[in-house]
Structure 1
Amino acid sequence: MRYIIIGAGAVGGTIGGRLAEGGHEVVLVARGAHYDALRERGLRLTTPEGTRTHQLPVVRSPDDLGPFLRPDDVLLLSVKTQDSTAALDTWSARPVAGGGTAGELLPLVCAQNGVESERQALRRFRHVCGMCVWLPATHTEPGCVAAAGAPVSGMLHVGRYPSGVDDTARGIAADLAKSRFLAPVVPDVMRWKYAKLLSNLANSIEAVSGLIVSDEARALFRRALAEGQATLAAAGIEATSQAEQAEARGGRITFEPFDGSERGGGSSWQSLSRGTGTIEADYLNGEIVLLGRLHGIPTPVNEALQRVANTFARERREAGSMGVAELTALVDAG
């Protein structure tokens, strides 16, 4: 299988680089300065084993791959959810050699936070896999990605969407397992993704106010989490428990800081740091707001966090520049 990584940022760059190290054929898809850096200098991937530069094919669109995709292509979508629709529209109609389109024939894997992209993908692709991504990685400089997990880079639960497993999911998982990942194949991948969604409710707090280390920041996250748990319960949506997640990881991954580096923030913090002008809050805190409105559950904390995070992105304000006391006051003020 050839892996086309649509969105070669922190997650996509790590998965693409590791798959290449495992001997698999990989194409990276990027844009802007990141595309230029990857094309000119290659992917600079830093892990606890050191830094390597991978000279991989990089494209901006399927047009750069020629008139046809290959029947053995796997599309791995790792853009932020707010960019999913454009990417799915671009790739789904692409012809595949021998007849048919990517949407009709090729598997697409949603390696993203949130739970919305799978629904968007299934409108356009017949064969969709969800992937629950537990892969702390950083991408703030064009051409460079860092992942601190050891002895593997992360845990990637894989399964068919909306449920089930098949030979394609098993094959993808086997390739990942040979490429320094834990990759369990599960028939209920969305249970894992909803659990990750709950943990990602902290992303807006971290993006706006920095790492969640103070009691006040933890208290604000607990309030957002309580709303999330209440809305999932009202919607009848099951998420894996903390105990089940801990058992799956079982101390099998540790995070080794890189010499001379400071710990950065997660994906939303990185979006603000890069000044992208967008952030995924609408599909993290905003997912809880949506469920709350559908099922009559108040979600004032997540509404406020969604609003503030979007303002930070739109105004290109500095990541972590609002104190948690000020953020909490804004939440309390509604």
Structure 2
Amino acid sequence: MRYIVIGAGAVGGTIGARLFQGGHEVLLIARGAHYEALKRDGLRLITPESAETLNIPAADGPVPTRDDDVLILATKSQDTIAALAPWPADLPVVCAQNGVANERMVLRRFEHVYGMCVWLPAQIPQPGVIAAHAHPYSGMLHVGRYPQGVDDELAARIADDLSKRGLVGRAVPDVMRWKYAKLLGNLGNAAEALLGHVPGMAEVVERARAEARGVLEHAGIAYATPEEEAEVRGHKVDARPIEGVDRSGGSSWQSLARGSGSIEADYLNGEIVLLGREHGLPTPVNETLRREANRAAREKLPPGSMPLETLQALIDARSAAGSR
């Protein structure tokens, strides 16, 4: 079985590197300077305890496929449709992405779709180099068939393959329940990107999550509890410093830092906004975070450029308008 990692950035590159180290055939799909570095020098994987250069095959676009290929999609959610467009629809697709909308989008075209809940703190300090900060494992990955994954042989095989080197793979029948829990955690990404780590940011994030929990519960959508997450996670993927690498913010912070012009907020905070609209519930906190994160990305503002007081005032104004 060959794993084709579409979007071999921080998360996808780490998954591909660990599968390769475990003895599996891997092809990394990347673009731009990152692809050029991978093709020229190989992938440099740096962890808290080691550094290794891996000569993993890389391409910057579609390649001829085989019947035993598995696509691991690790792009941002806003790039899902375009990233998968060139690939054959008879291949299985694993959505190793934040948010909960990708699996349904992919299922419109691909029959065999798998969700993956990703706990894997990593970044790209420079093209061709990935710093994976977790220890003793680089990540924990829950995998399951979408929409239902009971007794799925491929999910179990993927989880076993992931677990061979540096990762913890878990085949689960309720992968979306874990992904909704991860979604709650990711609601703070926009606040971090807009504000940076300033006093008062945690209060904004908790308001967003409390609002979201109310919406999910009203909609009857189950999610794993913090207690369940803590029990499963333990200390298997604790983030640690890496000598010579300054750890930046999360994925949304990195999007603003790169000036990419897009951000994932529509599929994180925007998921709560969508559910709120469907169920007639106000979501002023998440709507403000969604709008302002998109504006910052569109205007290519640097991370941490919005004052806390400004964001709080915008949230309060939207809350007041919704209550009238």
The 2-side partners of 1:220 and 1:140 are apart by 28
TM-score, reference length from structure 2: 0.95
Counterpart residue number, 1:79? 75
Question: Which residue of the other structure, out of 272, 279, 282, is the alignment partner of 2:266?
Answer: 282
2:118 counterpart of 1:133: yes
Pairing 1:87-166 to 2, within 5 Å after superposition: 87-91=83-87, 94=88, 103-104=89-90, 106-165=91-150, 166=152
Secondary structure class of the residue paired with 2:188: helix
TM-score, reference length from structure 1: 0.92
Counterpart residue identity of residue 17, structure 1? A
Structure 1 residue 332: Cα displacement:
2.1
Pairing 1:147-186 to 2, within 5 Å after superposition: 147-165=132-150, 166-186=152-172
Counterpart residue number, 1:98? none
Counterpart residue identity of residue 162, structure 1? P
Q: Is the 8 A contact 2:48 2:243 kept in 1?
A: no
The 2-side partners of 1:332 and 1:127 are apart by 44
Counterpart residue identity of residue 250, structure 2? G
The 2-side partners of 1:210 and 1:141 are apart by 21
Counterpart residue identity of residue 39, structure 1? K
Greater shift in the superposed pair: 281-290 or 270-279 = 270-279
2:235 counterpart of 1:251: yes
Structure 1 residue 252: Cα displacement:
2.4
2:8 counterpart of 1:8: yes
Secondary structure class of the residue paired with 1:146: strand
Counterpart residue number, 1:97? none
The 1-side partners of 2:124 and 2:265 are apart by 18
Q: Percent sequence identity over matched residues?
A: 59
Secondary structure class of the residue paired with 1:226: helix
Structure 1 residue 210: Cα displacement:
1.2
Secondary structure class of the residue paired with 1:90: coil
Counterpart residue identity of residue 278, structure 2? L
The 2-side partners of 1:200 and 1:233 are apart by 18
Structure 1 residue 141: Cα displacement:
2.5
Structure 1 residue 262: Cα displacement:
3.0
User: Mind listing any 5+ residue stretches in structure 1 that lack a counterpart?
Assistant: 95-102
Secondary structure class of the residue paired with 2:86: helix
Secondary structure class of the residue paired with 1:184: strand
The 2-side partners of 1:254 and 1:276 are apart by 29
Pairing 1:13-52 to 2, within 5 Å after superposition: 13-52=13-52
Counterpart residue identity of residue 22, structure 1? G
C-alpha distance after superposition, 1:171-226 (max 9, x if no partner): 10000000211111110000000000011000000111113x62x11111111001
The 2-side partners of 1:228 and 1:152 are apart by 30
Counterpart residue identity of residue 187, structure 1? P
The 1-side partners of 2:121 and 2:112 are apart by 27
The 2-side partners of 1:33 and 1:262 are apart by 21
The 2-side partners of 1:18 and 1:227 are apart by 37
RMSD of Structure 2 on Structure 1 (CA): 1.3
Secondary structure class of the residue paired with 2:167: coil
Moved over 3 A (4+): none
Structure 1 residue 23: Cα displacement:
1.1
Secondary structure class of the residue paired with 2:46: strand
C-alpha distance after superposition, 1:276-319 (max 9, x if no partner): 11000000000000000000110001111001100111111111
The 1-side partners of 2:31 and 2:243 are apart by 30
Structure 1 residue 320: Cα displacement:
1.6
Counterpart residue identity of residue 204, structure 1? A
Structure 1 residue 321: Cα displacement:
2.0
Secondary structure class of the residue paired with 1:183: strand
Structure 1 residue 137: Cα displacement:
0.7
The 2-side partners of 1:7 and 1:120 are apart by 17
C-alpha distance after superposition, 1:86-120 (max 9, x if no partner): 112221xx3xxxxxxxx12x211000000011001
Structure 1 residue 330: Cα displacement:
2.5
Question: Which residue of the other structure, out of 161, 182, 193, is the alignment partner of 1:196?
Answer: 182
The 1-side partners of 2:124 and 2:188 are apart by 19
Secondary structure class of the residue paired with 2:278: helix
The 2-side partners of 1:252 and 1:56 are apart by 26
The 1-side partners of 2:303 and 2:39 are apart by 28
Greater shift in the superposed pair: 14-23 or 323-332 = 323-332
Counterpart residue identity of residue 188, structure 1? D
The 2-side partners of 1:237 and 1:123 are apart by 22
Counterpart residue number, 1:100? none
Structure 1 residue 140: Cα displacement:
4.7
The 1-side partners of 2:314 and 2:131 are apart by 34
